[in-house]
């Protein structure tokens, strides 16, 4: 976990967007992170937009979009499947490397989301079944 990471990344994204005369920045924060990460919550997104409006007043008018704000990861997987997203080309793992580790929090959440969405997970994991143990342990 990197505290305040979304504020850091969004500040950079807004700076780049302003320099390139773009009119929008998007973030993929989602409903499943609200409890854990304060910078994924609706109040943060709204306040960040207000701050950027002041920071860029007279220079740029950039909107912050957070389309997954109230969706679970399983909802996002279902939505992506509707648009034939190449999930095998996306990355979630915190560990890095050639393959998803299958053991870090985001790998477990990713694997569980595909399961809950009833969509086959094309991700190549080093430990593809660890998520089952992690979810069972969490529920106990």
pLDDT in tens, 41-59: 999 999 999 999 999 999 9
Q: Which pLDDT score, from 0 to 100, does residue 96 have? A: 83
Q: Are residues 79 and 122 in the same domain?
A: yes
Residues in the chain: 140
Q: Which pLDDT score, from 0 to 100, does residue 67 have? A: 95
For residue 25, pLDDT over 70 is answered with yes
Q: Are residues 83 and 30 in the same domain?
A: no
Alpha carbons 66 and 89: distance in angstroms, whole number: 21
Q: Which residues contact 136 (CB under 8 A, 6 or more apart)?
A: none
Q: Are residues 56 and 83 in the same domain?
A: no
> What letter does residue 125 receive in the DSSP assignment?
B
Q: What are phi and psi of 63, to 5 degrees?
A: -95, 140
Alpha carbons 106 and 112: distance in angstroms, whole number: 10
Q: What are the helix and strand counts (H, E) for the chain?
A: 5, 2
Q: Are residues 109 and 60 in the same domain?
A: no
Q: Which pLDDT score, from 0 to 100, does residue 33 have? A: 76
Give the total number of structural domains in the chain.
Answer: 2
Domain, as residue range, for 40: 5-65
For residue 139, pLDDT over 70 is answered with no
Instruction: Count how many Cα atoms sit within 13 Å of the Cα of residue 54 in the half-sphere of its side chain.
Output: 5
For residue 134, pLDDT over 70 is answered with yes
Instruction: State which of 65, 94, 113 marks the end of a domain.
Output: 65
For residue 140, pLDDT over 70 is answered with no
Q: Are residues 56 and 107 in the same domain?
A: no
> Residue 65: enclosing H or E segment and its boundaries?
strand 63-65
């Amino acid at each position: 976990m990197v505290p305040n990471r979304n504020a850091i990344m969004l500040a950079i994204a807004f700076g780049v967007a302003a320099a390139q005369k773009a009119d929008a920045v998007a973030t993929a924060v989602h409903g499943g992170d609200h409890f854990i990460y304060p910078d994924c919550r609706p109040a943060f997104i709204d306040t960040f937009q207000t701050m950027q409006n002041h920071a860029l007043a007279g220079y740029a008018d950039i909107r912050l979009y957070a389309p997954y704000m109230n969706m679970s990861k399983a909802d996002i997987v279902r939505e992506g499947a509707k648009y034939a997203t190449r999930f095998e080309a996306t990355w979630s793992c915190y560990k890095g490397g050639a393959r998803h580790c299958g053991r870090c929090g985001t790998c477990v959440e990713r694997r569980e989301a595909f399961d809950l969405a009833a969509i086959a997970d094309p991700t190549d994991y080093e430990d593809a079944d660890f998520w089952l143990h992690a979810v069972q342990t969490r529920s106990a």
